[in-house]
Structure 1
Amino acid sequence: MFKQYIGWKFVLASIAVLIIGTTIWFVSNLSRNIQEEERKKVATWVEANRELLRASSEANLNLAVDIVTNNTTIPLILTDETGKILDSRNLDSMRIMQDPHFLNNELQAFKKQHPPFIMEVDSKQKLYNYIYYGDSLILRQIRYYPYIQLIVVTLFIAIVLFALSSTNRATQNQVWVGLAKETAHQLGTPLSSMEAWLEILRDNEANATIVTELSKDVDRLKLITDRFSKIGSVPKLEEKDIVAQIENMTNYIRKRAPQKVILTVHSAEEELPAMFSPPLFDWVVENLLKNALDAMEGKGKIDITIENHPTFITIDVADTGKGIPKLSFEKVFKPGFSTKKRGWGLGLSLAKRIIEEYHRGRLYVKSSEINKGTTFRILLRK
């Protein structure tokens, strides 16, 4: 799946680069051709002005007038030898009237764009005029076109990637929800059978110890079934004491943890009411504690610190395990990510979804150091 995802993204990016590269090459050639044509037009315009000054024949004069008057696209500025502006063509007349520096600014820009044409005005006195010209509006638009296309293509790719990513997430969510509900459904049948067998065992007092232990396991399976059945539906949040809820789950894990592991709950308040779904919140805490136990490999310390803030509550689960590389802080919550040889890598992914989507809180890696430990933080809004 990951290789396919990278593959089509690479193909999409390659096509976009090819389109943009081809366009830039084509537009560059087109711009050069248009620029050369405009240079020739200006040269013809200058020659027409020379003919007007000479006024050698009526035919040439008419032709020169036509050439001079037909230039309506290329902006021109005429100056004398001292740089004084004598005339201008195809520039914004309103700007010229409103801004006294407009023509000078345009002249400086034209000087940077193209070398001027020199036109002899008086051969005896050796007087010359200089014609400076700039790029026409069409040429400027053509030059900007590749950048506009780049923006459009980038937006298109971004929209496609977002749409595909959203579709992929929606499909994954449907798979996880369907898997969870199907698991809850499949557990229902053997649970009903086990409860029936428990009733039969209760009839014999000699089975009292067995019945007690089996009842605990059946209740545990009921809780797991209830958790799975709630995935995909909006859970009912209840106001309960979060300190007591965490201590109950810690006691459950403590009985099943190695003897060399110390679990401690720290809270400045004995009771702290909060809005949460008990079955789902227990699942989150259980997942974090089990991950901590796996990271410590049989010995170490787990500290659960509960803090009350004006607008939110934080629960930090800190272990003394092997730690998580900083680059993997976000990856640990991805479905399928796991450092264990066994397991589907869904625990932290589901825990994050429970806290962030159902409880509108946050679950993230607060800090971690290799071979020193990791701290996960749950943030619940009041």
Structure 2
Amino acid sequence: MNKQKLIYFRDMIQQWFNWRTALTLFAVCIVTGTIFYSNYLSKKIGAEEKQKVETWVEAQKTILTATEQTNLNLAIRISTGNDDIPIIETNEKDSITNNYVNLDSAKVNADKNYLSEKLREFKRVHPAPIILPIPEKPNAENRYYYGESRLQKEVRYYPIVQLIIIGLFIIITVIAQRSRYQNTQNQVWAGLAKETAHQLGTPVTSLEGWVEVLRDIPGNEKLVGEIEKDVNRLKLISDRFGKIGSIPKLEERNLVEQITSMIDYIKKRASGKVQFTFNTNGETNIPAMVSPPLFDWVIENLLKNALDAMEGKGKIDVTVKDEVATVVIDVKDNGKGISKQNIAKVFKPGFTTKKRGWGLGLTLTQRIVEQYHRGKIFVKQSEIGKGTTFRIVLNK
């Protein structure tokens, strides 16, 4: 028992730890490390900038309190040396004194609120100002609020830029892998369809020969007629699979006639307790470009699904609407319906609510409508206990 658990956990780990997981973990480690290092650099640069501003304020103090004997060379050099950190001076009441450095003078002159907005921004970044008391005036002082230098901003936003780049890289990789998987899946579908058509071809041809032999024997007329129907049915199935394995040729067909023939076909195989209605809003000819065998297969699958959902008793409504640029086909039943969590799964391979079945009917239906006819198919409406409506939209 313990050995089985170990094998189970090993297989689960192998399933989860693939190259995509490793790539994601590697990207997360890079971003995490970069964020921590950037925060460290940001704090270090912030401490240095605070020290520079304090030195600049001291230089201002030296200039303001200077006498004729004071050497101002160093103070002036420090004062003019700050060409990156923006600073705004206010008085003890936090009123701007119009003394500022490293701000756009054109914007200051053009917008009277520019300095106020910048002051609010600086207070958010560095709430505590650097204070310079004024000795000549009791209780008077100058306050200096400062913002972030360009280097500080670049260091702060660098992890975000890197995160975006890595995120785009992962998205592109996943999309490429998904596209590759989709192409592989398409090749598998096409190969399976061609092989099925090929395998059916030989016995169907042989059966056609035996039908002709039986036809020449008197008394087999009724038997030959029934066998011939089944052989023709096999030929139709083989033709459908052959067209899935290759690009089908679309022809302009009257959808009223195509759908009517399929309803008649399914009606003969349904119980007498199932009522079929076909509404075309009075139209007798609604043309559309379709592959007749494949389009018939689509309608057949939807009608069979409706029959299975009703369990032999109920009503199936088929409606065709001829619109300006599209033809809309609704297949509605009053069967058991589909739960909300399963609506998104109905077209996935292998999904089925039947005790028997491969869960490929609606998958093939979606493939035929969307890939070969460039249309759309979806569950328009479904409610448990009330039924389901499938909608097909074909471009004219």
Code of the residue aligned with 1:268 in structure 2: it is: N
Q: Which residue of 2 aligns with 1:237?
A: 250
Deviation at 1:81, TM superposition (A): 4.1
Q: Which residue of 2 aligns with 1:258?
A: 271
Q: Which has the higher mean CA deviation after the structures are superposed, 206-215 or 258-267?
A: 258-267
Q: Could you list the per-position Cα deviations for residues 102-141 of structure 1 after superposition, in whole angstroms to 9, with x for gaps in the alignment?
A: 3333233323332222224444766533222211111112
Please give the alpha-carbon distance, in whole angstroms, between the structure 1 residues aligned to 2:254 and 2:244.
23
Instruction: Decide which of 176, 181, 185 is 1:163's aligned counterpart.
Output: 176
Q: Could you list the per-position Cα deviations for residues 347-367 of structure 1 after superposition, in whole angstroms to 9, with x for gaps in the alignment?
A: 111112222222232211121
Q: Which residue of 2 aligns with 1:105?
A: 117
* Counterpart contact for 1:51–1:60, Cα < 8 Å: no
- The yes-or-no answer on 1:381 pairing with 2:395 is yes
Instruction: Decide which of 44, 47, 52 is 1:33's aligned counterpart.
Output: 44
Instruction: Decide which of 315, 324, 340 is 2:338's aligned counterpart.
Output: 324
- The yes-or-no answer on 1:89 pairing with 2:68 is no
Q: Aligned with 2:346: secondary structure?
A: helix
TM-score calculated relative to the size of structure 1:
0.89
Instruction: Decide which of 140, 144, 159 is 1:146's aligned counterpart.
Output: 159
Structure 2: runs of 5 or more not aligned: 1-11
Distance 1:367 1:84, change over 3 A: closer
* Counterpart contact for 2:286–2:322, Cα < 8 Å: no
Distance 1:288 1:51, change over 3 A: same
Q: Which residue of 2 aligns with 1:302?
A: 316
Q: Aligned with 1:239: secondary structure?
A: strand
Q: Which residue of 2 aligns with 1:68?
A: 79
Please give the alpha-carbon distance, in whole angstroms, between the structure 2 residues aligned to 1:54 and 1:379.
84
Q: Aligned with 1:24: secondary structure?
A: helix
Code of the residue aligned with 1:196 in structure 2: it is: G
Q: Which has the higher mean CA deviation after the structures are superposed, 345-354 or 123-132?
A: 123-132
Q: Which has the higher mean CA deviation after the structures are superposed, 49-58 or 319-328?
A: 49-58
Q: Which residue of 2 aligns with 1:200?
A: 213
Q: Which residue of 1 aligns with 2:33?
A: 22
Deviation at 1:303, TM superposition (A): 2.2
Code of the residue aligned with 1:183 in structure 2: it is: T
* Counterpart contact for 2:345–2:351, Cα < 8 Å: yes
TM-score calculated relative to the size of structure 2:
0.86
Instruction: Decide which of 210, 225, 236 is 2:238's aligned counterpart.
Output: 225
Distance 1:360 1:128, change over 3 A: same
Q: Aligned with 1:132: secondary structure?
A: strand
Please give the alpha-carbon distance, in whole angstroms, between the structure 2 residues aligned to 1:63 and 1:321.
91
Distance 1:55 1:221, change over 3 A: same
Deviation at 1:284, TM superposition (A): 0.3
- Mapping of residues 277-316 of structure 1, within 5 Å: 277-316=291-330
Please give the alpha-carbon distance, in whole angstroms, between the structure 2 residues aligned to 1:363 and 1:76.
63
Deviation at 1:287, TM superposition (A): 0.6
Code of the residue aligned with 2:154 in structure 1: it is: Q
Q: Aligned with 1:268: secondary structure?
A: coil
Distance 1:291 1:94, change over 3 A: same
Q: Which residue of 2 aligns with 1:50?
A: 61
Please give the alpha-carbon distance, in whole angstroms, between the structure 2 residues aligned to 1:306 and 1:124.
91
Q: Aligned with 1:331: secondary structure?
A: coil
Distance 1:3 1:338, change over 3 A: farther
* Counterpart contact for 1:242–1:271, Cα < 8 Å: no
Deviation at 1:173, TM superposition (A): 1.3
Instruction: Decide which of 339, 346, 355 is 2:360's aligned counterpart.
Output: 346
Deviation at 1:58, TM superposition (A): 8.3
* Counterpart contact for 1:263–1:302, Cα < 8 Å: yes
Q: Which residue of 2 aligns with 1:359?
A: 373
Q: Which residue of 2 aligns with 1:185?
A: 198
Please give the alpha-carbon distance, in whole angstroms, between the structure 2 residues aligned to 1:11 and 1:375.
43
Code of the residue aligned with 1:348 in structure 2: it is: L
Code of the residue aligned with 2:104 in structure 1: it is: D
Code of the residue aligned with 1:355 in structure 2: it is: V
Deviation at 1:315, TM superposition (A): 2.2
Deviation at 1:95, TM superposition (A): 2.9
- The yes-or-no answer on 1:372 pairing with 2:386 is yes
Q: Could you list the per-position Cα deviations for residues 272-301 of structure 1 after superposition, in whole angstroms to 9, with x for gaps in the alignment?
A: 231222111110011111111222223222
Question: What's the RMSD between the two structures over aligned residues?
Answer: 2.8
Pairs aligned (count): 381
Distance 1:316 1:111, change over 3 A: closer
Please give the alpha-carbon distance, in whole angstroms, between the structure 2 residues aligned to 1:3 and 1:344.
29
